[in-house]
Structures are given as C-alpha cells and as structure tokens.
Amino acid sequence: MLRSMNPVNGKIIREYAEHSTEETTSIINKCAEAQKKWAKSGFDIRRKLMKRASEILRSKTGDYALMITQEMGKPIAQSRAEVLKCARVCDYYAENADAFLSSEQVTTEASESYIAYRPIGVVLAVMPWNFPFWQVFRFAAPAIMAGNGALLKHASNVTGSALMIEDIFKEAGFPVHLFRTLKLPGKKVAQVIENPLVKAVTLTGSVGAGRAVAAKAGEMLKKTVLELGGSDPYIILNDADLETAVDICVKSRLINSGQSCIAAKRFIVVKPLFKDFETLFVKRMQDMVMGDPMSEKTFVGPQASLSLRDELHEQVVSSIQKGAKCLLGGTIPDRPGAWYPPTVLTDVNPGMPAYDEEIFGPVAAIISANDEADAIRIANDSVFGLGAAVFTADKARGKRIAETELQAGCCFVNEMVQSDPRLPFGGIGDSGYGRELSYAGIREFTNIKTVYVK
C-alpha cells in the first residue's frame, strides 16, 4: 500500500493499492499505443489541449493547492503559487514548442540537409514530494508537446497529487493513456526502466536515487536527465546592500519550509560584513512565522515527514558537536507532527554536515570568508553544483563571478536562485546532468535527427 500522511499531525490521509506487475505492464503498453498516434498529431492540436490544461489548473487552483498542503505540508499560499507556475509552463510550451522543434536547415554538399527534432517515445518520470505539481509539469508539458508519452512514478506520500495531475490531462482532452500514473514503490522502478517500450527516464530526487536510476538506465542504454540535490552557496560581498541581501537570503532558505533543491543553504560572507549580516539574518529568521500551513500568514510549515525531520535534526546536532554554534532554533518542538523551527548555525567549517551535505530543511549555515577569492573558493568547495548566487553593488563584478567563477548550472546576481520556464534549469557534479525548461528542456527527449538529401 502507498500511504499519504498529513505531516501536521501524522494522521493518515489515504492509502492506495499498488499496481500489480500485470497492471503496470498494461499501463505501459497503452501509453505506448497512445504515444504512437500522438506523435503524428500537429502542433495546433497539442497547443489547444495544453492551453486547456493551463485553464484547468487556473480554474481549480484552490483544490490542487489544498491537496499539496495536506500531503506534504507546504504553506497554502506557496501551494497556490506552485499550481499557477504549472499553468505558466503549460502556456509557455503551448506557445513555443513549434518554434523550438522546427527543423534547422544546414548548408552541406547535399541538395538539402537539416536537423529534425522527433519524439523519442514513452518517457518515465520519477518525481519527488517537495513540489508535487511543479516537478511533474516542468517535465510533462515539454515532453508531451514534443510528441512523447509520459509515465509518472511519483513519491508515495503525494499519490493524491499524482492522480489529480493525471485527471488534469484527461479532462483537458489528451488521449486517455498518454499520461499515466504508476502507483509503485521505489524498488519497482527498475522493472519499469527495463520495459523496452520505455525509451528514457527523468528523475528529480536524491543523489542515491539518481545513481540507481542512471545505473539501470545505462545498463538498458536509455537516456536520462537527472536533477538531484544541491547545497547552494550565496556569496555576500563587501559592497552588497545588506538589507536586501538578507531579505532575499532568508526567503530563499525558508521557501517550501527549506525543502528545495535550489534553496540557499550556505551563506558565505566576507569578514567586513560578517557580524552585521549574522545579526540581521538571525533577526529576520526569527521573525518568520512557523505554523499551520493552512494559514495565509504562515511561511514555514512542517517538514514533509517525521523521518525527514529527524534526519535533518541529526545533521544539526552533528554539526554542533563538531564545533558549529547554534544562534537560533536547533530543537525539535514538543508537539505532534514533523515540525522543525528556522535554525541558524555559524562557525560552520569543512567536516560538518552543515558544510559538506545538503541540508533539506529550514537550517542556514553562515560561513566567514576573507575576501572575494576566498568566498568563491568556499562556494565551489562542494560536490554539488545546482545553483549559486552572489550579492554585490557592482553588477559587472557579479556577472563575472556568476559566469566564470561559480561552478553551478544556475547562477544569479542579487536575486534568489529560481526556475523559470524561459531559462534552462539543471546542475553539474552530484546535482545531476541534462537540462529542463526553455528550448533545451524540450529537446532533451527528442531524437535529434540528421536528414541528408542528395
């Protein structure tokens, strides 16, 4: 059984029967059949249906947001924003897919030669719980507009969200089996990858899950796109606007109650600003409201599960035992549910979980740097490379650091790292490979075909 539990109180929301091996095979077969026909459809048809999906998301935002909040504890205002972002990505690819996948003429000795972008077939998506709608739509909108079929193996605790997403595509008028949810535990993903009708896999999740999926897909010679963990560094230089930098840093650290791959996690501050940053940062973190995720005033809700909360606390305790100083939070509240307060650690150094590992929760690590060069060194001292940001009054300086110095897939200047349908999204190192969103994302799951006519 797959189980959804409310992290506010630990109570079971609903249990779902897993698909049997026979049911899973049938779903894959039907998706493949639907995809063959869908691949022959024109962009006008695809555009109309994807626009309809966007309309459904907008008209039922409240229903979908409620499911997100109930299943994983996201504050309700952020849940609504997530649903509306899904509508935007549907609109974006409905309006741009045709241009992104248009054939490109290339001059050669042939009478005609060009590059064509053709659908690859059925793509399996293994998705996480932290953005249960957005992670799916940022894959599904481009993949389906490219002419592919989609199978979703969602995190077990957000099965209700997964089934709602399937219903959105059906209600929008897409072929019934073109997008299907597989109700399976993680241990059965390998069997799906082995199915010859599944042509590629995309995963957003942990490094361990990424390695396992990439290994199985590699064995089967199937393409993968992986968006894994992150330990995003935010550099605050001596000429930064302190108030603005702190406000952005706090928001980034606490968005989704700290449970985001691209949340700011390591704050690297040059010495002239260090004490002032530390003081203001703690105050702003202390001001953030932790409470009922159904309240409009709440910015920090519970963690998604008790086990995740406990793992987070172990990282905090271990960091403190190894010399970090706790300036705020750091204790488990005496109340039911998976709660963890905004927490600030300072004197963070290599060898501590807060320095070396991804901290997936509302815990900030403040690190002192001697100067710009030292700050860049510390920022790059990580196995991860998803996002990074730098704060400086000198935009040229910030641009140079972002483009040429920081080792990450998404580098921002004077702003929090965030995904945008118009820009490629992805990382390097243990943060994975491949790109989602923009023109790069829709082309990932196409056959980039050379056509040569003599």
- Joined together, the tokens standing for residue 153 give 């193996």
Residue with tokens 């799951």: 445
384 neighbors 430 (Cβ within 8 angstroms): yes
Residues forming a β-bridge with 366? 267
Catalytic residue (one of 261, 278, 410, 436): 261
Residue 144 CA to residue 125 CA, distance in Å, equals 12
Query: Which residues contact residue 77 at a Cβ distance below 8 angstroms, ignoring those fewer than 6 apart?
Result: 296, 298
Is residue 23 part of the annotated active site? The answer reads no
Catalytic residue (one of 82, 166, 227, 436): 227
Q: What sign has the CA pseudo-torsion 193, 196, 197, 200?
A: positive
68 neighbors 79 (Cβ within 8 angstroms): yes
Is residue 227 part of the annotated active site? The answer reads yes
Query: Could you give the dihedral angle defined by the CA atoms of residues 25, 28, 30 and 35, in that order, rounded to the nearest 10 degrees?
Result: -160
Annotated catalytic residues are 227, 261
